[in-house]
Chain A
Amino acid sequence: MSAWQSALDAAGPQAERIARLWWVFLAVCAAVYALVIGFLFAALARRRGDPAPRPADAEATASPTSDRGLTRAVATATAATALILFILLVASVGTGKALSEHGDPNALYIELTGHQWWWQATYQDPSPSQQFETANEIHIPVGRPVIFILTSSDVIHSFWVPNLSGKIDLIPTHRNTIWIRADKPGVYRGQCAEFCGLQHANMALRVVAESPTQFEAWRRAQVEPAPAPDTPDKQHGQQVFTSLPCAMCHTIRGTGAGGRTAPDLTHLATRSTIAAGILPNTRGHLAGWILDAQGVKPGAAMPPNVLPPDDLQSLLDYLGSLQ
């Protein structure tokens, strides 16, 4: 298990380069800091030992030789500072350049749109029948570059999965791209890194890196429409979903629900969290979210709902069957 959301526990080439740069900066800055503090204490200790000189003595002690020595020392320190900063600049620019290169024609394209406060991921494919949409949980194959095309529907958000790469903004009306590659399988948490409103802190996503065969199986399942309800209870649940406000915003492919403003719920039961990584996807949490989402995430677009108990249970049964 990798460290949870840590930029120093790299799972891919970009994060590795960033982590290496971070260590270089840490080492250089720590050394400079230690030197400065050392000189400071040396100066303090020396001053304390001296008896307080009278003004006339001070004039006399500043001999031409020690004056020249001081000038030389200050000039050397200034030159060293400029040189160190220049080296750090070169290291930083070199890392930035390396991050933008990949050149693999076999990359996977995912369009990621930020919303207040969740992530919409659309998997691109040359064949439209193979494109599909999901939310807040992104599966990627290990060892294959993934190119994210990022934009936003409302305000500026920022995509940051520290174990995989640095951050990049999602800007309305503009498209940014970033590529990442995961070399180790695992679940990597990411978070919006640009303040985007009330629930900015509750806008998380997960990147699940898995072997290419597992990914292909997941992808095939996601392309399919939602499974048809197989019991009268689930059929009733589906009816509740499509006749109540749910269908005004949410899509379940294969049913009449085709709202385009909220997360696609076609395969809701395959996700491990709800509400953009805030709650585990369990029956109880889902019920709480449906009835009173504003209690969990005040300001989110999900309105409160009142359902008779039987309708709610059927709805939960149906949503739980969306594998």
Chain B
Amino acid sequence: MRTRGAVVLVLACAVATLSCWREKRQFRGAPAADARWAPVRIPPLQPGQPLPDNIKVGPYEGNAWAISEGQRLYNWYNCSGCHFNGGGGIGPPLMDDVWIYGSEPENIHATIVEGRPNGMPSFGGHIPDEQIWQIVAYVRSLSALESPDAVPPRNDHLERNAQPQPKP
């Protein structure tokens, strides 16, 4: 009886170890200057064979760490200055299902890198490419395009403002 209990316990522990999986954190990405020279291809016409569409899925699809980093960078680089916390204001809202320039990861990436008319600045060459992809993952999570189990349960902007008051 006791042996069977021990076996069940060991098996249960073995099954539990399956959940011990940690997603990969890539700290050392390519420098921003590399992305500066990436060609912008507006027309589909190309000399020779067309290049394969190598990026269909963002590299941080469903990566919880990247999405939370993206959330941090979204505020650091002042995306929130125009898009606010996704609701929009000066810039278009990011939480709805209206996408002027496409909702696929590579569309959003291109929008951030190239900039868009009427106010969206071009960030290519100013932000490392990895960070742009992290922001892409976060922006997609705003309109529930990312898997919900990877999205942070709590938004940083819900924090009470802790700006200390200057003392005399």
Interface residues of A (CB under 8 A from B): 109, 111, 124-126, 131, 147, 149, 151, 172-175, 244-245, 248-249, 259, 261, 292, 294-295, 298-299, 303-307
Residues of A close to B27: CB separation below 8 A: 294, 298-299
Interface size class of B (residues with CB under 8 A): 20 to 34
Q: Please state if A173 and B131 are interface contacts (CB–CB under 8 Å).
A: no
Tell me if A151 and B159 are in contact (CB < 8 A).
no
- Could you tell me which residues of chain B, from 21 to 76, have a CB within 8 Å of some CB in chain A? 25, 27-34, 76
User: Are A245 and B164 in contact, with the CB atoms below 8 A?
Assistant: no
B128 CB–A CB distance under 8 Å = yes
Across the interface, B128 reaches (CB within 8 A) one of A173, A174, A259, A304, namely A304
On whether the beta carbons of B31 and A126 are closer than 8 Å, the reply is no
Complex CA distance for A175 and B164, rounded to whole angstroms: 7
Whole-angstrom CA separation of A307 from B160 in the bound complex? 40
Given contacts A126-B168, A304-B31, 5 further A-B contacts (CB under 8 A): A109-B166, A109-B167, A248-B126, A298-B27, A305-B32
**Residue in B29, B30, B32, B162 whose beta carbon sits within 8 Å of that of A172 in the complex:** B162
Contact A172 B159 (CB under 8 A): yes
A247 closest partner in B (C-beta): B126
B127 lies within 8 A of chain A by Cβ: yes
Beta-carbon contact of B127 and A124 below 8 Å: no
Chain B residue nearest in CB terms to A149: B164
A286 to chain B, nearest CB (A): 17
A163, B160: Cα distance in complex, Å? 34
Given contacts A175-B164, A298-B28, contact A303 B33 (CB under 8 A): no
**Interchain residue pairs with CB less than 8 A apart (22):** A111-B164, A125-B166, A126-B166, A151-B162, A151-B164, A172-B159, A172-B162, A173-B160, A173-B161, A244-B126, A245-B32, A245-B125, A245-B128, A259-B76, A292-B28, A294-B27, A299-B25, A303-B130, A304-B28, A304-B128, A305-B31, A305-B32
